[in-house]
Chains A and B, each alone.
Chain A
Amino acid sequence: MSALLIAEHNNNEVKPFTLNAITAASQIDEDLHVLVIGHKADEVAKTISQVPNVKKVIHVDNEIYENFLAENFTSVIVKQAENYSHVVCSANTFGKNLMPRVAALLDTSQVSDIIKVISADTFLRPIYAGNAFATVKSLDSKKCITIRPTSFDPAATSGGSAEIVKAEGGDANTNIKFIRREEVKSDRPELGTARVVISGGRGMGSGDNFKLITAIADKLNAAIGASRAAVDAGYITNDHQVGQTGKVVVPDLYIAVGISGAIQHLAGMKESKVIVAINKDGEAPIFSVADYGLEADLFEALPQFLEELSKLNTIQK
């Protein structure tokens, strides 16, 4: 049997994590097909058809799919799933919202947020905010899997030429209505895929003080993250939250500023390659995961940091 991956996109472009999910799904089954459900998303189907790991693209187009409502997607996926052993999706808010709805109708116990494919039925996944890793084996004949995108490399985007076939959609669910999406536009790299992330916590003291972080992010071409405390306090919007219930990031460099390092935050960043912690409390748990710890007042350290960076001849982008 083959694996079916549900693509995440915005009708114009493929979301980057779909490429990571393709890598994971093709490790589960080399005969990987991708289902693109959307409205006027022909470009998306075409882009995915050029990914070498993809053997076939199934494209379902209807205006009822324009806003990616799980209620409308589910019947399409359940129908397509007849021909597949695995249904796979990214474990971000798109996949988290969608996949369990599919799994329940397929009477399958979903395996969420895997970080490694051990075999077609056995996977590694973090539990308890990443404080334990569980090796689990799915006993269901049809498997529903969500993958943690940052644990897999993105698939190559050129060289493939999978066929694109059109398929019929289903009916619209009349009990749900999409109203609006407030997307935070930014020229910065995306938090989930940035090479460098600099995050602020409650220690920042105010939203205005995040400008100290922004200045350094500009220099390093970094994405800006935040602890839950900083988001709860209203310093910054929710799409910046890193942690167990926010985003998981694995950058080359993660700089935590004024973040104490609760286990819920560590869950979202401790796999980063190099971690820097700047905190005035030398006992803060964040220092236990930091490669480089600086015990200092962030209001003095950040301007100095900016100044030191300005002295460098070159900075990696």
Chain B
Amino acid sequence: MSFNWLSAIIFLPLAAAIALALLPHLSVKAVRYFAATITMFVLILTLVLFCFFDRNIGTMQFEEVYSWIPAFSASYHLGVDGISMPLVVLTALLGFVSVLVSWKLETRVREFFIWMLILESSVLGVFCALDLLLFFVFWEIEVIPVYFLISNWCSANQRHTALKYVLFTLGGSALMLAGIIGVYYYYGSLNMVLLSQHDDAVLLLSSAPIVPIFFMLLAGFAVKLPIVPFHGWQPDTYTNAPLAVSIMLSGALAKMGGYGIIRICVSFFPDIAIRYAPLMLTLAVVGIIYGGVLVLRQTNLKRLIAYSSISHMGFVLLGIFALGQTSLVGASMQMVSHGLITGLLFAVAGIIIEKTGYADITRLGGLARQMPATATFFILAGLGALGLPATSGFAAEFTTLLGSFSSTVVDSAKWFVLIALLGVLLAAAYILWTIQRIFYGPAQSAFNHIQDAGKLHRIYCGLLIALIFIIGICPSILTSIIQNSTYEIIQVVGG
């Protein structure tokens, strides 16, 4: 195909953002419709690509290569494979949903959508870039829109959140930059496809500091995912950020971390990944349990979802570092599934907070009577989060756990799976308890006259729920596209 599909997808939101910036006199309504149209169009484009994607090939498709900086043989190189394709669609979907979610926003609407569109561009770029430098550029750009989105549209006493987020992210990505420079120095290439075909065993025997480079690269992804000791920014950020940003952060940006670990850490350095797999699996299990336990103690609705997110991303890490063919498929599915479920949870939480005015769970209760539709949405999302069969959560977590248990590369993975199962139990506990605290119990008269979810709310919640169940009932939509690409990686790992 001669048309540059991926470039079009990546730069369309950016172009729209520039257009919005140059048209200061558009009415608020026009801005909203414009943003919604653009993001929907991007979503449609990604879906078209998803359909045209050849599922029998595990290598890169829709590639675009142009020379960019000859001095480093850095190129403008884009492409998607089975691992990144679903994430591109997910990002476009969440970009569209987050525009709908912020429909009622009244303050500085134009600026808000400009930043949201730039954010979408940069995240899409991360998933499509196949040149390390280009990858880093997209990776880093994301910081600026998020910084402005959080600090402009959160309450004034929470502005430190934005700085905290930025410093954590920049700290991680600074080390990542050092790692990229190290990779370039020792491998002499920035081409991510070529690099993943290298054999790191030779370098591992030499005196090259390849292990520090691995961990420097990992640092950037660890902050983003987040892996547990690096999660300090996450609960505050998810809680204080505007709703649309929380959705993008948890649904799409966190996946950049998981994607980066698969695409860069594991593919470039399979032997180091195997050597340090027990360490990473420990961190994964710690994350699953730690996040799960802390959820039980939360009373703020958004913070609760934030901690459950830590727990769920632990499964992604578990699946990746079990280094089995099936476990990697599971981890990739978990990324997509978590994006949908957490996006939905945040969206429904947004409805509850908007209608009742409270984010504090202790003040809520008995809402099932007053807001039956919202309650249904939340319960369905919750069932997905706790991994009930027929939801995408089940398909993803089951594949991850099964794949990790049967991994032939990392023998100790079995024991970690057994501990991770506790996390599944915890998830059931906190989800059901949360549902009970919000929606059941005596109905409160204070909430007698609140409205239920509106038409717009029903549209985007329904969309997400439909996807959760479609993937849950028919997971082969995803697995067929993912498995060939994970096979390519596992071949390098030697599993």
Q: A and B: real partners?
A: no
